[in-house]
């Protein structure tokens, strides 16, 4: 995983309810993921939907989501 992407994700408890955002802006990671889930391409996101973003920001959101979901699961038996 490219950890440089993860440096684009910021968390500020005083902004957007402490949700992960992109480069200190009020654009949440979930905003980008929702667009991707609704079949908006990364290029469309930066060209049409959220023009303050760069393509690297979109990929950073995916890297962040992947890192958050890739954690060990402990089974208690």
Look up the CATH number of the domain holding residue 25. 1.10.10.10
Asked if residue 33 belongs to a domain, the reply is yes
User: Which token pair is 6?
Assistant: 């993860």
What is the total count of domains within the chain?
Answer: 1
Residue 18 lies in a domain: yes
Beta strands per DSSP E along 11-73: 21-22
Domain of residue 20: give its range. 3-69
Look at residues 61, 60, 71 and name the one whose alpha carbon lies nearest to residue 29: 61
What tens digit of pLDDT does each residue of 10-26 get?
Answer: 999 999 999 999 999 99
Q: Is 22 within the bounds of a domain? A: yes
In a domain, 76, yes or no: no
d(CA 74, CA 77): 10
> What confidence tens digit (pLDDT) does each residue in 16-59 have?
999 999 999 999 999 999 999 999 999 999 999 999 999 999 99
């Amino acid at each position: 995983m490219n950890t440089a992407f993860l440096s684009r994700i910021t968390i500020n408890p005083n902004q957007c309810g402490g949700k992960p955002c992109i480069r200190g802006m009020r654009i949440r990671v979930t905003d980008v993921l929702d667009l991707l889930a609704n079949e908006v391409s990364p290029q469309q996101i930066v060209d049409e939907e959220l023009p303050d973003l760069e393509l690297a920001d979109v990929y950073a959101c995916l890297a962040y989501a992947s890192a958050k979901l890739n954690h060990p699961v402990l089974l208690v038996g």
